[in-house]
Chains A and B, each alone.
Chain A
Amino acid sequence: EVQLVESGGGLVQPGRSLRLSCAASGFTFDDYAMHWVRQAPGKGLEWVSGISWNSGSIGYADSVKGRFTISRDNAKNSLYLQMNSLRAEDTALYYCAKVVKLGDAYGAFDYWGQGTLVTVSS
């Protein structure tokens, strides 16, 4: 059974940093690209960042470029999101998600975690 479990969320002051983690199991992690998608309270889905299976292709939404860094450790079956210079508008539930097709860097997301909540407030 595929499982994605996010952690690392919490309450943080504006300008501070936070590192999210996503532990994956139930599939061959290093075969698939992984992404972060967020959802602000009461709002829609927003793609944040994605990373290919071998970290060779990485992308960021304009809203987080230069502040967030995605990475993965295939030996640990884990995905990460380093978030720096956090702003109030970064407040959201952050999901990690797995792409459907082996080898694709982008595309549809067939498995999602339950999310970790990040609240940026003073």
Chain B
Amino acid sequence: QSALTQPASVSGSPGQSITISCTGTSSDVGGYNYVSWYQQHPGKAPKLMIYEVSNRPSGVPDRFSGSKSGNTASLTISGLQAEDEADYYCSSYTSSSTPYVVFGGGTKLTVL
């Protein structure tokens, strides 16, 4: 069982916006601004898309944005493109003994 809860799948049409949620507790998502999001295409290593809740690394399109409210973080992708189809994972620092880092179970994004 994953420490952070994500929907198993989401879908959207090209040009639309979608949001992926990531629910934790006050010991992880709610307690710290160390939420990050990763994109993973089949057979590839994960790619960092968002760190510290809402920061985008250099090179990540501004169509990707992150936010947090209470114990739930969200990744929003606007103007969906075919190449956005991938698995997305959230992650957070946790203070609940170990592990120090927890991942969500992952969300499969399908672009219709």
Measured CB to CB, the residues of A under 8 A from B are 35, 37, 44-47, 50, 59-62, 65, 95, 100, 105-110, 112-115
Q: A44-B106, A45-B89, A108-B52 are in contact. Are A114 and B101 (CB under 8 A)?
A: no
Report the interface size for chain B: residues with CB under 8 A from the other chain. 25
Residues on B with beta carbons closer than 8 Å to the beta carbon of A45: 38, 40, 46, 89, 91, 103, 106
Pairwise interchain contact A65-B48, C-beta atoms closer than 8 A: no
Residues on A with beta carbons closer than 8 Å to the beta carbon of B100: 47, 50, 59, 105-106
Measured CB to CB, the residues of B under 8 A from A are 2, 34, 36, 38, 40, 45-48, 51-52, 57, 87, 89, 91, 93, 98-106
Pairwise interchain contact B103-A44, C-beta atoms closer than 8 A: yes
A54 to chain B, nearest CB (A): 16
Cα distance A110–B58 when bound, in Å? Answer: 10
Cα distance A105–B95 when bound, in Å? Answer: 13
Residues on A with beta carbons closer than 8 Å to the beta carbon of B102: 47
Pairwise interchain contact A106-B101, C-beta atoms closer than 8 A: yes
Pairwise interchain contact B99-A62, C-beta atoms closer than 8 A: yes
